[in-house]
Structure 1
Amino acid sequence: MIRLSELQVKEVISIVDGRRLGFIIDLDIDVKTGKIIALILADQENKSHMFGKTEEIRVLWQQILRIGSDVILVKEAYDQRTLMLP
């Protein structure tokens, strides 16, 4: 078993281009099953957007290839950025 606090200190890296995507700020969890649906990351490239909104990257649990001791390797799709209200 792994805790959220342990996941949050691991940097998420895309194997598509080696880009550092950032660190986990939240999780999407299916309340019916209790399973994690996606990791939510703050987008490092776009710190803030118009009207105080922050860009986020949503990485589906199925896209995780490996959770290592200090990084999480994922296969990222390019259309995963969404806006998150502060």
Structure 2
Amino acid sequence: MRLLEIRQKEVINIRTCASLGCVMDLLIDEKNGCILALIIPGPGKFCSVLGRDSEYIIPWEQVCQIGRDIILVDIDEKECRKKCE
């Protein structure tokens, strides 16, 4: 599977059945090339107009299943949300 294919899939949290959005980027281990985490943009600041101040960093171990259209994850959204730098 290519990054482009992963980026087109919607990410769903199975704990809350909420859509988190689509994958923006991947965190990859430089030494062995393994995927460490999915990076998903967080919710917009004000009506999604003024940009974003956070993102979800979802560890690869929390990915439950990758389907044809969606990626299922099992996360605590508060723990995975990080401030953008």
What amino acid does structure 2 have at the position aligned with 1:84? C
Q: TM-score, normalised by structure 2?
A: 0.86
8 Å CA contact 1:24, 1:39 repeated in 2:
yes
Q: TM-score when scaled to structure 1? A: 0.85
Tell whether the 8 Å contact from 1:63 to 1:75 is kept in structure 2 after alignment: yes
Q: Which runs of 4+ in 1 moved over 3 A?
A: none
Equivalents in 1 of 2:45, 2:54: separation in Å?
A: 6
Corresponding residue number in structure 2 for 1:13: 12
RMSD (Å) for aligned C-alpha atoms: 1.6
Is the Cα contact below 8 Å between 1:48 and 1:55 reproduced in 2?
Answer: no
2:81 maps to: 81
Q: CA deviation at 1:53?
A: 5.5
Aligned-pair identity (%): 39
Q: Which amino acid aligns with 1:71?
A: I
Q: Could you list the runs of 5+ residues in structure 2 that have no partner in the other structure?
A: none
> CA 1:70–1:53 in 2, change beyond 3 Å: closer, same or farther?
closer
Residues paired across the two proteins, number: 80
Letter in 1 for 2:14: I
